[in-house]
Amino acid sequence: MKLQELADLLGGTLHGDGSLEFARPLPPVEAGSADLAVAMQPELLGDLGRSPARVGLLANGTEPPEGTLDAWVCVGRPRYALHRLTGALGQEPFVAPGIHPTAVVEPGAEVSPDASLGAFVYVGPRARIGRGARILNHVSIGQDAVIGEDTLLHPGVRVGERVRIGARVIIHSNAALGADGFSFVTPEPGSVEHARSSGSGKVSSFNEHIARIHSLGSVVVGDDVEIGANTCIDKGTLTDTCIGSGTKIDDLVMIGHNVRIGMLCMICGQVGIAGSTVIGNGVVLAGGVGVADHAKIGDHAVVGARSGVMGEIPEKEVWMGYPARPRKETMEIFVYQSKLKALFREVSDFRKAFASFLEDGRGK
Amino acid sequence: MKLQELADLLGGTLHGDGSLEFARPLPPVEAGSADLAVAMQPELLGDLGRSPARVGLLANGTEPPEGTLDAWVCVGRPRYALHRLTGALGQEPFVAPGIHPTAVVEPGAEVSPDASLGAFVYVGPRARIGRGARILNHVSIGQDAVIGEDTLLHPGVRVGERVRIGARVIIHSNAALGADGFSFVTPEPGSVEHARSSGSGKVSSFNEHIARIHSLGSVVVGDDVEIGANTCIDKGTLTDTCIGSGTKIDDLVMIGHNVRIGMLCMICGQVGIAGSTVIGNGVVLAGGVGVADHAKIGDHAVVGARSGVMGEIPEKEVWMGYPARPRKETMEIFVYQSKLKALFREVSDFRKAFASFLEDGRGK
Amino acid sequence: MKLQELADLLGGTLHGDGSLEFARPLPPVEAGSADLAVAMQPELLGDLGRSPARVGLLANGTEPPEGTLDAWVCVGRPRYALHRLTGALGQEPFVAPGIHPTAVVEPGAEVSPDASLGAFVYVGPRARIGRGARILNHVSIGQDAVIGEDTLLHPGVRVGERVRIGARVIIHSNAALGADGFSFVTPEPGSVEHARSSGSGKVSSFNEHIARIHSLGSVVVGDDVEIGANTCIDKGTLTDTCIGSGTKIDDLVMIGHNVRIGMLCMICGQVGIAGSTVIGNGVVLAGGVGVADHAKIGDHAVVGARSGVMGEIPEKEVWMGYPARPRKETMEIFVYQSKLKALFREVSDFRKAFASFLEDGRGK
């Protein structure tokens, strides 16, 4: 790509010779002489002196150190520029058009002639695969499932019975949509119910038989959703577990039965959301957050990494901690925790000072 | 289904015309005019006024608001009724009887003629598949593994070498049973051993080579167990990792080598259990709980969500927190944490008041 | 195996008749009369009295109780002996030599004639499989990926496009290497950026559109690495996500885009490492540890189970807790937390005592 093309692509400002070309965009220390040194963060500018690269991509308001780059492009919102740049250079995963000869499509399934099905794909009875969908090798699609237009399923994705996936969705390898919800009941009140209702802190009622509640619902995924590798989204019990359009979900996330997630949320790696919880629009759950069952997180709330959420978080608030509290409170607790040793010592010193004062019968 | 049939199925009491029929059981706000409004929780009764449904399922001792339902059934233990209702209406996943032509069965394997093997199933040498077992598409079964009668394996399940699975077990998509245990050793004491034995808090011995301890044991799963999607259960080192009959395990759970879990436990999503830990019967581990290696959890103990357990939990106790403590103690700590700011302020005020008192040399 | 062979294999000392044979090595309570009772931990010696086994494996400096074993071998470093013993007795997973007739190898891929490809293996265009590699059933290898010599991929492993895996690597079932990084950007500053920059604890800027940053980089795995079941390692954005040689990674671990992990690390189950974090050589992350993005962990550092790490950990230090602190500080906090109730009471008693003292106007 030529530097002028890069400037056009990113809507950036060209400095120097726009006819210069580059091979790969790389951080300055990894870029070779033919590459584009990407130094949009000011702290990377110093690396340009150690880089053989002759052309670069910088943030507005910055410039390369004297004697480093011959030409460069400056852009306004670096991460958005990265979206455009990587989108222009990214390669699509390979899948041949049409249905691979090894694929198995059960009777009654409808596969759009414009869809691509890779090797060893399995499509169950009455499933429907939309126009332009790309189903890579080793994907399973259960009976009555629906895959929307231009959706991309990576190898090993499992789509359960009756799951409905929208358009332009991307699902990464080995994600499992539509396993049965983890929903059980004991004929008589079991140990958990007992522990909840009893104030004694002791369990005195035991599970002698555990009966399963079957999942009559399924999973519904909106448009433009992305779902990470090995993530699990379980079926609902009576209704469907729902993922709103535009929401992005990372790897190894678990979303329980009946959960409803709104639009344009960001659900980071290893988050776990227990059954029947409702999450609004634009919510951000950082890595490793756990949300209890029947909780409620308001629109545009942000929850910090590894927090444990119970109950309700109001909209637009930033919470964190275990248990999760407003971020400011948790940060205060972290500070106070680190001063506990000093506090215990102070109170102990005090006790002695006061006792000796009382013994003396006077102030000094 | 007719309302009379529903009452018979659930052992409930019919109110009104038992010949009325319904299509799907749904929460009142999602039920259409042909559906059964399921309002067994009292807080859902108010929704009946907004529902076009004419028939419903309620809890004993409640009744629909005037002018809503034409007929309804009342039941005693709502969640158990849900077990029966969903069991009667649930659909089985599709797999054709017999061995799919694309399946590969290695020489020496024994597949019961009553078992069903889906597309792309792989069965290794000397493996045995029991009567009525349903092995869905893309399942791998390793050499010498045993699958019990009427067991159901969903797409992409991996059953390792020598793993033995009981009868009526359900394993969800992409679960991996029988990977090698994470068990390594350094020729000389390594950094972890050093950190454990040294009080200095500094590591001064390093891993220069890491040797693996191979897994000679395997995994044994009892009868009537359910295992969630993408869950991992590793092989034991000399003996087997064991899951007791009737135990239910959710998605994305990790169970390390040599772990022994008793009968009728509930192991919720994203729980992690490190090597050689022993868990009794009827234990409940809520979502995201971590249990250290060589720990011990007594029968019928309950551990709250996201707790970190080390050492031992006595039977029948309810614990939670990081580190896990009896629930009452952890709840107190949570409360005290939220009052730390006030405590620090009080002690500081005190310090000043006492100092000024001492300076004045008198009480007032 | 004969006991003399065992002594030779482990470099141990034989006590008694070396011609005695054993079937399986097992803990004393599980060993039968034909087995080797493995009692290298002193606390297991007492079990020998309850074991029918006649031969055993013990640690140097210990001996069996009178009248139990007929002969035994003593060794110096028990866990290392376990490495050698299990290595000698362990069975390899089955895969027939050559390419299974059901495997699909795309044009342009190069498979060494010495490699073994199992049933339903898929190899994408231009991928290269090295000498002696064993690719078990149901593995997917993406376009341009490279698999090193003698590497072993268990069933269902997904290797993404351009991923490069070294020699003698072992990857367990359903691990996913090379999914796209979880990297997104909003055209205007989004809710997370806002929450980070604002001190208000309120989000006032919302995600109206979320654009993806494509992954131009891939994943590079060194030699002698082991990766657990259902673990995910995502591609880098511009450069590669890197795993150093000799590093061992457990099940259900998530390693984000651009992460660099050094050599000879131990990354235990359910660890999560967010994007662009750098981890040195010889680092140990215990089970369930979470590491934030752009963090840095120095060489040979050890982080305790379920800790939440942000920022930087110096080399050779032992940290733990949420938030992670030096282990000693966190252990102190745990102790102080358990004494908070007493502290609150003491301060409250004090307040009353001081107030009554002031009211009385005197000490006693």
Chosen for mutation from A251, A265, A297, A334 (greatest number of chain C CBs closer than 10 Å) is: A251
Fold of C102-326: UDP N-Acetylglucosamine Acyltransferase; domain 1 (2.160.10)
The pLDDT, as a whole number, for residue C256 is: 98
* Nearest CB neighbour to A269, from listed C106, C256, C354: C256
Which of C156, C248, C252 is facing B210, going by the closest CB pair?
A: C248
Q: In what order do the strands lie in the sheet with B158-159?
A: B104-105, B122-123, B140-141, B158-159, B176-179, B232-234, B254-255, B272-273, B290-291, B308-309
pLDDT at A104 over 90: yes
Please, what is the average pLDDT of chain C? 94
Of all residues in chain B, the percent with pLDDT exceeding 70 is 96
| B83 closest CB neighbour out of A104, A211, A322 | A211
Write down which chains contact chain C via at least 3 CB pairs under 8 A: A, B
Scan for tokens 């792989």, then name that residue. Answer: B122
> What residue of A is the nearest CA neighbor of C321?
A334
Which pair of structure tokens corresponds to residue B361?
């040399």
DSSP annotation of A56: E
Q: Could you report the per-residue pLDDT of A232-248, keeping only the tens digit for each?
A: 999 999 999 999 999 99
Query: Closest by alpha carbon to C301, among C287, C290, C288, C286?
Result: C286
Average pLDDT estimate for C77-90: 94
Contact (CB, 8 A) for C93 and B127: no
pLDDT the model gives residue C189: 73
State residue A364's pLDDT score: 43
More confident residue, C7 or A198: C7
Q: What is the pLDDT of residue C355?
A: 83
- Write down the pLDDT at residue A254: 98
If you count residue pairs, one on B and one on C, with CB atoms under 8 Å apart, how many are there? Answer: 233
Q: Collapse the DSSP code of A312 into the 3-class scheme (helix H, G, I; strand E, B; otherwise coil) and give the result.
A: strand
How many angstroms separate the Cα of C38 from the Cα of each of A45, B198, B215? 60, 28, 15
Using the Cβ of A30 and the Cβ atoms of chain C, whether some distance falls under 8 Å is answered with yes
Asked whether the beta carbons of A251 and A228 are under 8 A apart, the reply is yes
CA distance B269 to B289: 9
Give residue A363's pLDDT: 45
Query: Given A120, A180, A322, which is nearest B322 (Cβ)?
Result: A322
Nearest to C265 by CA among A30, C213, C53, C277: C277
Buried b / exposed e along A81-90 (16+ C-beta atoms within 10 A) = bbbbbbeeee
Residue B30 C-alpha, separation from nearest chain C C-alpha, in angstroms: 28
- Helix, strand, coil shares of chain C, percent, nearest 5, are 20, 25, 55
Do β-strands A128-129 and C116-117 pair in parallel, antiparallel, or remain unpaired? unpaired
Q: Do A300 and C180 make contact, defined as CB atoms within 8 angstroms? A: no
Mean pLDDT lowest among A202-211, B173-182, C21-30, C256-265: A202-211
CA distance C179 to A172: 6
Question: pLDDT tens digit string along C276-325?
Answer: 999 999 999 999 999 999 999 999 999 999 999 999 999 999 999 999 99
Q: In angstroms, what separates the C-alpha of A93 from chain C's closest C-alpha?
A: 7
Round to the nearest angstrom and report the end-to-end CA distance of chain B.
Answer: 83
For residue range A315-348, list pLDDT tens digits in order: 999 999 999 999 999 999 999 999 999 999 988 8
Q: What is the mean pLDDT of residues B147-173?
A: 98
A200 touches chain C (CB under 8 A): no
pLDDT digits (tens, 9 = 90+) for C330-346: 999 999 999 999 999 98
What pLDDT, on a 0 to 100 scale, did the predictor assign at position B194? 67
Closest CA to B291 of B327, B318, B265, B320: B320
pLDDT score for C358:
80
Q: Across the interface, do A179 and B90 touch by the CB < 8 Å criterion?
A: no
Contact C243, C221 (CB under 8 A): yes
Number of Cβ within a 10 Å radius of residue C245: 17
Q: Considering CB atoms only, which of C90, C154, C351 is closest to B214?
A: C90
Chain B partners of C270 at a C-beta cutoff of 8 Å?
Answer: 254, 270, 272, 290
Whole-angstrom distance, CA of residue A322 vs CA of residue B322: 9
What pLDDT, on the 0 to 100 scale, is given for residue C363?
A: 45
C142 CB near a chain A CB, below 8 Å? yes
Choose from B47, B169, B174, B284 for mutation: most chain A CBs within 10 A. B174
In three-state secondary structure terms, B59 is: strand
- Which residue ranges make up each domain of chain A? 3-89, 102-326, 331-364
Q: Do C174 and B347 touch (CB under 8 A)?
A: no
- What would the two tokens of residue A247 be? 């929401």
Output the average pLDDT for chain B. Answer: 94
* Residues of C carrying an active site annotation: 257
**C47: closest CA of chain A, how far (Å):** 32
Residue in chain B lying closest to C171 (CA): B179
Residue C364 identity: K
**Rounded-to-5 percentages of helix, strand, coil across chain A:** 20, 25, 55
pLDDT confidence bin for C188, thresholds 50/70/90: confident
SS3 of B209-250: CCEECCCCCCEEECCCCEECCCCEEECCCCCCEEECCCCEEC
Catalytic residue numbers of A, as ranges: 257
- CATH architecture of the domain with residue range C3-89: 3-Layer(aba) Sandwich (3.40)
Judged by a CB distance cut-off of 8 A, whether residue C275 touches chain A is: no
Distance from CA of A36 to the nearest CA of C (A): 11
- How far apart (Å, rounded) are the C-alpha atoms in residues B58 and B240? 46
Question: What is the C-alpha to C-alpha distance for residues B252 and B249, in angstroms, rounded to an integer?
Answer: 9
Cβ contacts (< 8 Å) between B353 and chain C: which residues?
354
Q: What is the ipTM of this complex?
A: 0.95
What is the pLDDT at residue B352? 86
Q: Is B311 exposed, middle or buried (0-12, 13-18, 19+ CB in 10 A)?
A: exposed
Which of B251, B341, B360 is facing A179, going by the closest CB pair?
B251
Q: How confident is the model at residue B363, as a pLDDT?
A: 45
Contact criterion met (CB < 8 Å) for A228 and C179 = yes
Rounded to an integer, the average pLDDT of B356-364 is: 67
Q: What is the mean pLDDT of residues C103-130?
A: 98
What confidence score (pLDDT) does residue A136 get?
98
Q: What is the pLDDT of residue C202?
A: 81
Mean pLDDT of B45-63: 96
- Helix C3-10 with C78-89: angle, nearest 10 deg: 120
Chain A residues within 8 A of C325 when measuring between CB atoms: 338
The length of chain C, given as a count of residues = 364
Confidence of residue A110 (pLDDT cuts 50, 70, 90): very high
Tell me whether residues B256 and C269 touch, CB distance under 8 A.
Answer: yes
For residue A167, is pLDDT > 80?
A: yes
* A 112-131 → B contacts, CB under 8 A: 120, 122, 124-125
The residue whose two tokens read 């859902």 is: B44
| Three-state DSSP state, C77 | coil
Contact present, B252 and B211 (Cβ < 8 Å) = no
Chain C residues touching A38 at Cβ < 8 A: 238
Give yes or no for residue B204 having a pLDDT over 80. Answer: no
Binary contact (A353, B354; C-beta < 8 A)? yes
Residue numbers in A near B316 (CB within 8 A) = 202-204
Helix spans in A159-306 (H): 191-197
Q: Which of B160, B186, B363 sits opposite C362 (nearest CB)?
A: B363
CA distance to A170, C74, C221, per residue, from A250 (Å): 11, 50, 21
pLDDT tens digits for A6-20?
Answer: 999 999 999 999 999
Q: What integer is the mean pLDDT of B49-70?
A: 95
pLDDT(B351) > 90: no
Look at A292 and B305 and tell me if their CB atoms are within 8 Å: yes
Q: Which two tokens stand for residue B134?
A: 């349903």
- The 10s digit of each residue's pLDDT in A192-251 is 776 666 666 788 777 678 999 999 999 999 999 999 999 999 999 999 999 999 999 999
Tell me the chain A residues in contact with residue C191 when contact means C-beta distances shorter than 8 Å: 282, 284, 300, 302
